[in-house]
Amino acid sequence: MTTQVLRFIRRGEIVTLADVPPTRTLLEVLREDLHCTGTKEGCNEGDCGACTVVVGEEVNGQLQTKAVNSCIKMAHSLDGKALWTVEDIAADDGCLHPAQEAMVQCHGSQCGFCTPGFVMSLFGLYQQHAHAGQPITRADAQHALSGNLCRCTGYRPILDAAQTMLGLPAVPVDEAKTLSKLKQLAQIPRGLEADLAYKSPTTLPALLAARAKHPQAQIVAGCTDVGLWVNKMHMDFPQVLDVTQVAELRRVEHYRHHIAVGAAVTLTDAFAALVADRPQLGAFASRFAGLPVRNAGTLGGNVANGSPIGDSMPLLIALGANVVLMALRKGKVTHRELRLEDLYTGYRKNVMAPDEVLAWIKVPKAVPAERSRVYKISKRFEDDISAVCLALNLHIVDGQVVHASVGVGGVAATPVRARKTEAALTGEAWTADTVMTAMATLRGEFSPISDMRASSAYRTEVLGNLLQRYWLESQGLAAVNLESFVLEGEAA
Ligand X SMILES: Cc1cc2nc3c(=O)[nH]c(=O)nc-3n(C[C@H](O)[C@H](O)[C@H](O)COP(=O)(O)OP(=O)(O)OC[C@H]3O[C@@H](n4cnc5c(N)ncnc54)[C@H](O)[C@@H]3O)c2cc1C
Binding residues (CB under 6 A) for ligand X: these are 45-47, 219-226, 243, 263, 267, 288-289, 293, 297-298, 300-302, 304-305, 310-311, 357-358, 383, 385
Nearer to ligand FES, 103 or 391 (CB): 103
Among 111, 367, 457, 477, binds ligand FES (CB under 6 A): 111
- The distance of closest approach from Cβ of residue 262 to ligand X in the complex, given in angstroms and rounded to an integer, is 9
When the beta carbons of 229 and 458 are compared against ligand FES, the nearer one is 229
CB of 82 to ligand FES, least distance (A): 20
* Residue number, 213 or 420, with CB nearest to ligand X: 213
298 binds, among ligand FES, ligand X, none (CB under 5 to 8 A by kind): ligand X
Handedness of CA 217, 223, 225, 230 (dihedral sign): positive
Q: How many CB atoms lie within 10 A of CB 341?
A: 18
Binding to ligand FES (CB under 6 A) within 69-108 occurs at: 69, 71
Gap between the Cα atoms of 359 and 345, Å rounded: 19
- In 3-state terms, what secondary structure has residue 447? coil
43 binds, among ligand X, ligand FES, none (CB under 5 to 8 A by kind): ligand FES
Binding of ligand FES by 119 (CB under 6 A): no
What whole-number distance in Å separates Cα of residue 429 and Cα of residue 62?
Answer: 52
User: What backbone phi and psi angles, to 5 degrees, belong to 241?
Assistant: -120, 110
User: From the list ligand FES, ligand X, none, which binds 357 (C-beta under 5 to 8 Å, kind-based)?
Assistant: ligand X
- Cα distances (Å, whole numbers) of residue 97 to 60, 91, 170, 440: 27, 7, 7, 57
Indicate the burial class of 330 (C-beta count within 10 angstroms; 0-12, 13-18, 19 or more): exposed
Site size for ligand FES, by CB under 6 A? 23
Angstrom distance (rounded) from CA 341 to CA 331? 30
Phi-psi region of 104 (alpha: psi -120 to 50; beta: other; left: phi over 0): alpha
Residue 353 contacts which entry, ligand X, ligand FES, none (Cβ below 5-8 A, type-dependent): none
In the bound state with ligand FES, the residue whose beta carbon lies nearer, of 292 and 448, is 292
Contacts of 176 (CB under 8 A, 6+ apart): none
Instruction: Provide, rounded to whole angstroms, the least separation between the CB of residue 51 and ligand FES.
Output: 3
Q: Could you say whether residue 130 binds ligand FES (CB under 6 A)?
A: no
Of 22, 49, 262, 290, which lies in the binding site for ligand FES, with binding defined by CB under 6 A? Answer: 49
Hey, what amino acid is at 376?
Answer: K
Interaction between residue 229 and ligand FES (CB under 6 A) = no
Distance CA(362)–CA(224), nearest Å, equals: 22
Residues making contact with ligand FES (CB under 6 A): 41-44, 46-51, 69, 71, 109-115, 150-153
